[in-house]
């Protein structure tokens, strides 16, 4: 069984690596090789050369995975040494019990640089992807080739395709901007439809009419709030995120503890969950068949990953000016910040504002009140939605249609929108 699994893994990885696809950590094969030159007129030589190159890349990718694993172990050993020093220090001070010390140590990820933290995070993602592939090989081997075909991002980083193609008509960042702009428009249309149209299955439930009306009222209120934020003067850029969260403060803070379901966004609309998934992973036929609870789990996992990064940046006092362009772009990309032609100064400013709104301000507010509770996942989901919408409205967006639609709103702000659920009164402007 082990031999069969290893053989299937090799075949799957070879099949997923055409000659134009190179891993991020594997050196590219020169374009002009004797095999390539001879293969122009001989299909047998072309097939043999393709198989040889695929095997070489697979072996190199596996070797890179092992080297990355060894470096991750070295980084974790530095973290353990840092935790041991803190534990001894806190035990000598005697201000906390042993259980409190252990509980506090769980949230400590210091002792390393941000470059090492980013590498450790990628290693964790690669390990999860490798386990997913192994599970599919064992449980659904016939389904695995189709997953690799339609979702190449499920491969670990040494085997993942390059972000850009030399023959492509847009860069990777432009493609990401265009896909996220389309996701924003699609989400706004879905929100409006859910607020106005009763689902077909809900019509069959004669006892759930009141609950359905409440959901539609909530969706209508959320859509009008979005329109209000979009039409508020100055509510764009990093400064607009503060305005957006101020309008949602009653949902983010309360004097009663949030339940586990509320923290895991069980009340979040399906249209928003699907929109965030579409913005994170891009168009994928697999996500169309994904159940809602699994899609929501993906969003929560993405938010938790962002929360860990926020905590590391704030607790370790990382100077954002010390981040290079690559790490800065990756950190902002996870938070839907930025787009084409954004400078590093703009990205740092937006990231600093994000950390202020997501970590610093909530911590200060909770310490001052002492009785409030904070839904961190909902706050970060709101910030993700805002920055995705703000990137769509930006004049440098790669999708020209949403950019044109929003330019009038940015240049000349219209009045705030009002509306009613029943549709008896028409929407009007103040």
Domain assignment present for residue 92? The answer is yes
Same domain, yes or no: 146 and 184 = no
Same domain, 179 and 80: no
Is 67 domain-assigned? yes
Same domain, 224 and 348: yes
**C-alpha span between 326 and 332 (Å, rounded):** 10
Q: Specify if 426 maps to a domain.
A: no
Residue 237 lies in a domain: yes
pLDDT at 227: 77
**Which one of 68-72, 237-241, 339-343 scores highest in mean pLDDT?**
68-72
- Crossing angle, helix 114-139 and helix 2-15, to 10 degrees? 110
β-partners of residue 253 are 374
Please indicate, yes or no, whether residues 35 and 93 belong to a single structural domain of this protein.
yes
Domain that holds residue 410: 172-200+214-418
Q: What is the pTM of this model?
A: 0.78
What is the pLDDT, as a whole number, of residue 381?
94
- Structural domain contains residue 208: no
- Residue 162: what pLDDT? 55
- With respect to residue 353, please indicate whether it lies within any of the assigned structural domains: yes
Identify whether residues 79 and 176 lie together within a single domain: no
pLDDT band at 214 (very low <50, low <70, confident <90, very high): confident
Residue 418's DSSP bridge partners are 428
Judge if 177 and 64 occupy the same domain.
no
CB-based contact 387:241 (threshold 8 Å): yes
Q: How far apart are CA 151 and CA 90, in angstroms?
A: 47
Query: How many residues appear in the chain?
Result: 430
Q: Are residues 393 and 255 in the same domain?
A: yes
Q: How many domains does the chain have?
A: 2
In a domain, 166, yes or no: no
Q: 89 and 195 share a domain? A: no
pLDDT in tens, 111-134: 898 999 999 999 999 998 889 888
| Structural domain includes residue 207 | no
User: Residue written as tokens 């041991």?
Assistant: 84
């Amino acid at each position: 069984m082990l031999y069969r699994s290893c053989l299937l893994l090799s075949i799957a990885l070879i099949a997923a690596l055409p000659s134009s696809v190179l891993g991020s950590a594997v050196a590219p094969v020169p374009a002009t090789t004797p095999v390539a030159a001879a293969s122009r007129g001989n299909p047998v030589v072309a097939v043999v050369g393709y198989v040889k190159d695929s095997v070489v890349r697979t072996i190199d990718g596996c070797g890179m995975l092992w080297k990355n694993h060894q470096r991750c172990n070295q980084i974790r050993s530095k973290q353990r040494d840092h935790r041991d020093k803190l534990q001894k220090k806190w035990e000598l001070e005697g201000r906390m019990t042993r259980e409190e010390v252990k509980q506090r140590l769980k949230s400590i990820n210091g002792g390393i640089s941000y470059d090492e933290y980013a590498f450790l995070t990628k290693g964790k993602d690669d390990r999860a992807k490798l386990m997913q592939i192994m599970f599919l090989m064992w449980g659904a081997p016939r389904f695995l080739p189709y997953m690799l075909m339609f979702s190449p991002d499920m491969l670990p980083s040494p085997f993942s395709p390059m972000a850009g193609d030399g023959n492509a008509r847009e860069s990777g960042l432009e493609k990401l901007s265009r896909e996220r702009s389309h996701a924003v428009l699609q989400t706004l249309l879905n929100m409006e439809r859910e607020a106005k149209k009763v689902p077909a299955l809900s019509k069959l439930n004669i006892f759930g009419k009141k609950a359905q009306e409440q959901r539609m009222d909530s969706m209508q209120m959320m859509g009008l709030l979005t329109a209000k934020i979009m039409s508020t003067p100055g509510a764009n850029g990093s400064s607009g995120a503060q305005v957006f969260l101020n309008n949602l403060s009653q949902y983010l803070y309360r004097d009663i503890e949030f339940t586990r379901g509320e923290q895991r966004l069980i009340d979040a609309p399906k249209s928003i969950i699907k929109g965030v998934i579409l913005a994170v992973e891009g168009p994928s036929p697999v996500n169309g068949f994904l159940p809602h609870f699994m899609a929501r789990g993906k969003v929560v996992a993405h938010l938790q990953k962002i929360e860990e990064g926020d905590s590391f940046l704030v607790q370790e006092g990382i100077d954002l000016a010390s981040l290079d362009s690559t790490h800065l772009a990756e950190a902002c990309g996870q938070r839907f910040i930025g787009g084409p032609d954004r400078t590093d100064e703009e990205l740092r400013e937006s990231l600093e504002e994000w950390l202020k709104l997501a970590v610093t301000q909530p911590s200060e507010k909770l310490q001052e009140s002492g009785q409030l509770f904070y839904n961190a996942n909902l706050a970060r989901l709101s910030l993700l939605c805002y920055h995705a919408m703000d990137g769509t409205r930006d004049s440098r967006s790669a999708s020209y249609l949403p950019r044109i639609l929003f330019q009038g709103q940015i240049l000349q702000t219209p009045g705030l929108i009002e509306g009613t659920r029943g549709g008896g009164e028409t929407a009007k402007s103040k």
